[in-house]
Copies of this chain bind each other. A is one copy, B any other.
């Protein structure tokens, strides 16, 4: 019993240390010896818990993923209207990205590891569902097709991750979640003073350099 408790604590501290390293240095840039040193566990001990580097990375991914989906689950349980839920979902995600090493590590690992499923697969279906319901309730402009808004959401979350990652060393620690909130206000109502101009603002695909 006591042994198992100690083992669980070791495992947790290994995952936590690994998350920090994977987040900062990526998969290839992280060495197991660094992780074991940060966690205060011998390299042999690390091997006992995770028999390979890939396995450790998967544990970190799992940790981050579950933290993120826990947030999602809490949010979609709220009684808010669907569109607000979508916005809240991305903003909360951004907050997790800012504050949780494992979440950032998970996103980075999902990108860098070959064959891993993209992280957006976890929440995109939810987002699409919310948007469908928003459309059904007439909250969306007719031109705003759910699929396009979902793509927008993906782009914004990507941007939030970059903002959070860069902000760590910058002098202006602007919070990614707040930036994202301001962007949503903008996006929801639109940028143009005159909506009629929109058509000629976007270059036609394949048109080359105007």
1/0 per residue, CB under 8 A from B, across A170-181: the answer is 000001011111
CB-CB < 8 A to A74: which residues of B?
209
Interface size on A, as a range, is 35 or more
Q: Is A45 an interface residue (CB 8 A)?
A: no
For the complex, give the distance between the alpha carbons of A175 and B201 in Å: 19
Copies in the complex: 4
1/0 per residue, CB under 8 A from B, across A141-171: the answer is 1111000110110111111111101100000
For the complex, give the distance between the alpha carbons of A101 and B104 in Å: 25
Contact A181 B193 (CB under 8 A): no
Query: Contacts A188-B192, A209-B74 known; A148 to B182 CB distance under 8 Å?
Result: yes
For the complex, give the distance between the alpha carbons of A161 and B155 in Å: 9
Query: Contacts A186-B149, A198-B189, A209-B75 known; A203 to B87 CB distance under 8 Å?
Result: yes
CB distance from A68 to the nearest CB of B (A): 14
For the complex, give the distance between the alpha carbons of A75 and B190 in Å: 24
Q: Is A91 an interface residue (CB 8 A)?
A: yes
What is A's interface to B at a CB cutoff of 8 Å?
25-29, 71, 74-75, 78, 80, 83-84, 87-88, 91-92, 111-112, 118, 138-144, 148-149, 151-152, 154-163, 165-166, 175, 177-195, 197-198, 200-203, 205, 209-210
Contact B209 A92 (CB under 8 A): yes
CB-CB < 8 A to A179: which residues of B?
151
CB-CB < 8 A to A192: which residues of B?
83, 139-141, 188-189
For the complex, give the distance between the alpha carbons of A54 and B181 in Å: 38
| Nearest-neighbor residue (CB-CB) of A88 within chain B | B203
Identify which of B111, B157, B189 contacts A143 (C-beta below 8 A).
B189
Contact B118 A193 (CB under 8 A): no
